[in-house]
Structure 1
């Protein structure tokens, strides 16, 4: 058998996702593993949920390498440590999705300093720390994808001052990274989902808000996570190579929050 006839193994691309044990992150981890990616993901405290994701990934995509790390993205030193471990384990990373997020309900006048800091640190500073940690790797490859997870609430919503501010900040972060690192072959984009069936929406959405979403979304329903994951995988793919610095709303046509 000559060398040309020997089947060549194409390395699987590697995706890193924070907040991968539940909600949007979980859906993306599982969809990416099935779509041909190896995946590293993080969880902050739900070790059993992370183990469930690992088991489900092993069943659905046994050829994929999927590994979980415990990480609080508010801690920049911990982010750097986990990034080093991820890069060593997978021998590199091709795409990064800083997805971990929290929400605190409450009117602005009653929002405590600690709740404000927790939301901003998790939803805005955390993604910055993650991007900063992996940028040298992506730059060295001269190709890569960064995808930030915002929300239609970035335009403002009652009782969500901290969450809206954090998600709006991601838009500026993404556009800055797109300009700085586009010349290095790295695209940075944002998805801005509306209301999806997740742990966060179940825990924080009132019955009235669910009714609002179902009544005023042109599709008359909440989104399904596999729909969002598919959009995210497209933005991480080679097919999206000329999309940079953009915000893609995945909202079923719902264009504002009350």
Structure 2
């Protein structure tokens, strides 16, 4: 099977791509602009499985024309996809009173419009194959998070979008689920989570530790398999037991 992963060049996205390669999947993944990071993901994938099928595509998923173009090329390159992982997202934090229209629009368009565009673009493909697995990556911020009105709204919206897809297309053997991610040290979290917030996480998380990209990837991989066919419309927390943003 081949899988399409958005935002696969770094962090959790890279972990997901490498897990798919390890399990024998072909993988197309997107990146926003960091060519070196995308090439590093491919290099690591080739170390895991030298003959693996993997291609990166530069894509701004907030732009429907780019999404449609990349999907068209990816389907030509791979021929078939059985799963989609909506992972790509951005942060532009600010308190609500001072949040600009641009900060709001950029995050909503990337984090919510983007998954809508990509999912819509692959749905007919899944329908024709009578099989599809859609996994969207959310965050504890979906329940509200100070200084992140745009990000929280986008992630909450992603849950509603996923559950709607589950209802509409479950009868067609297409499942749609959400994986909620806890604190996993990545480039993005290091830039946006200060020492005080990190300490709060360690104090309140029941497992008293941070997560690993591989742990998120394992959960995502399972949801792509035939064995996960009766899991649909679910929100799976991979958060060490913490269920709200600290």
TM-score, length basis structure 2:
0.98
1:102 equivalent to 2:90? Answer yes
Give 3-state SS (helix, strand or coil) of 2:133's partner.
Answer: strand
Q: How many Å apart are 1:63 and its aligned residue?
A: 2.9
1:154 corresponding residue in structure 2? 142
Matches within 5 A, 1:208-219: 208-219=196-207
Deviations along 1:164-187, whole A, 9 cap, x unmatched?
000000111001101111111100
- What CA distance in whole angstroms lies between the structure 2 residues aligned with 1:74 and 1:255? 29
Aligned mates of 2:38, 2:84 — CA distance in 1: 18
Give the Cα–Cα distance (whole angstroms) in 2 for the partners of residues 254 and 200 of structure 1: 20
Question: What residue is the counterpart of 2:102 in the other structure?
Answer: 114
Distance 2:69 2:90 in 1: 22
User: Which residue pairs with 1:179 in the alignment?
Assistant: 167
Matched, 1:66 2:54: yes
Match of 2:81 in 1: 93
Deviations 1:53-101 (A, max 9, x none): 1111111111310000000000101101110111111111100012110
Give me the whole-angstrom Cα distance separating, in 1, the residues matched to 2:29 and 2:57. Answer: 6
TM-score, with normalisation over the residues of structure 1? 0.94
Tell me, in whole angstroms, the C-alpha distance in 2 between the residues paired with 1:99 and 1:81: 19
How far, CA to CA, are the matches of 1:63 and 1:246 in structure 2?
34
Aligned counterparts of 1:80 and 1:17: Cα–Cα separation in 2? 15
Distance 1:41 1:89 in 2: 12
Q: Which residue of 2 aligns with 1:233?
A: 221
Q: How far off is 1:221 after superposition?
A: 0.9
In the alignment, which residue of structure 2 is the partner of 1:189? 177
Out of 106, 122, 125, which is 1:134 matched to? 122
CA distance in 2, matches of 1:157, 1:38: 36
Unaligned 5+ segments in structure 1 are 1-12
Q: Secondary structure at the match of 2:153?
A: helix
2: distance between equivalents of 1:17 and 1:196? Answer: 18
**How far 1:157 sits from its partner (Å)?**
0.9
Q: Could you list the runs of 5+ residues in structure 2 that have no partner in the other structure? A: none
From 68, 82, 88, the equivalent of 2:70 is 82
Question: How well do the aligned residues superpose, as a CA RMSD in angstroms?
Answer: 0.7
- Which residue pairs with 2:240 in the alignment? 252
Structure of larger gyration radius: 1
